[in-house]
Amino acid sequence: MPPLKLVKILFQREPVAENQPGCCDVFIDLLRACGLICYVACPPVPSIVTRKLAFHPPEKGMTYRIALKSDPEKRFKNIRGCRDEPVQLVVRNISNGADYIHSEKEVEVFSVTTANNNDLVCIKCTPDSYSSNPAVSDQVVLFCQPNSSDLGGFLQPSSMNFVTYANVFETDFYAFDYSGYGFSSGTQGEKNMYADIRAVYDKIRETRPDKKIVVMGYSIGTTAAVDLASSNPEGLAGVVLIAPFTSGLRLFSSKPDKPDTCWADSFTSFDKVNRIETRVLICHGDLDEVIPLAHGMALYEKLKNPVPPLIVHGANHHTILSGKYIHVFTRIAGFLRHETLVSCRSIEVDSQQSSSKKKTESEE
């Protein structure tokens, strides 16, 4: 069980039972609490404490492995061992344990080296057909995952996956594993995560200079999206935040919008989000118990260029992007077509051309 969930359980008030626990039960509970506190707080370095509480990658190899196309049976510790050779992702179907490989047309695998010298596993998912909308065809999407998943979890053949997302949005869809996740090298950490998204973003800009980028974050991935977007990098067309939170310590507070940020706080999106110049869409479930809706609304109130948010009635933290609520994808697709900087400029150009045409016709 993740340490963060254990902390919440330990401090959660339970109704008094008719049969009070005995001394041994109390003593065992105290030992568990002390063990958890020692695990989390030792050493008492904020970045290490944050890493222990916030990052919970799946066990390596549980959902996928990397394989050389020339030697599929050869095993690697991480992508660094084969970054100069063509590789593919062998997805482990969680429902039956069978291996599954997406076609090369659907999923292209590549690696990126970050400023912190970590090598990341990255993918580009290609749709069956691209949008006829010029605004959408000029954009690609870069996705930042939640904390308890890796690429294999989002490439499961029996569920809505990244390839499906690419087809729904009708454009190229990029994703990556954070440092220490899946077969990316390095260790998990907030600073590494920010360096990760920057490196992948720069790689897309380098290889696709003709494309603008919409950054999409989910849960802890929203903090990476906000950190990058707050620097307003060249080529950024829009931001989508799904179930975002204001900051790490504010998750334990009843006031997600409290103005003062503690020096020991982490993932401080609340202090960064007002620096984003581009359009931002926030989607949040009203039954989200992990990250309450109030966090998404607190961030929305600080945005410079918000678009109408989507509050998904009945959705919780885990179901909002599962495919159960198709209007989430409809809303994001609408954002790509009509509300990003690229689509807004396209509309302006069409409007100007239409006005010019009407003026010419009237003069004739």
Tell me the catalytic residues.
219, 288, 317
Long-range contacts of the stretch 318-324 (C-beta < 8 A, 24+): 318/290, 319/285, 320/242, 320/243, 320/283, 320/284, 320/285, 320/288, 321/218, 321/242, 322/159, 322/160, 323/159, 323/160, 323/164
**What is the C-alpha radius of gyration for the chain, rounded to an integer number of angstroms?**
22
Q: Which phi and psi angles does 207 have, rounded to 5°? A: -90, -20
Residue 267 CA to residue 259 CA, distance in Å, equals: 15
Residue 247 CA to residue 92 CA, distance in Å, equals: 34
H runs (alpha helix) in 96-146: 134-137
H runs (alpha helix) in 13-78: 23-41, 46-54
Cβ–Cβ under 8 Å, residues 364 and 234: no
Largest CA distance in the chain: 96
- For the four alpha carbons of 70, 71, 72 and 77, in that order, the dihedral sign comes to negative
Tokens found for residue 49: 């404490």
DSSP assignment of 247-288 equals -TGGGGSS-TT-S---TT--S-HHHHGGG--SEEEEEEETT-
Please state whether beta strands 173-176 and 139-144 pair in parallel, antiparallel, or not at all (unpaired): parallel
Strands (E), the chain: 64-68, 87-92, 99-100, 107-113, 119-125, 139-144, 173-176, 212-218, 236-242, 279-285, 310-312
Cβ–Cβ under 8 Å, residues 323 and 160: yes
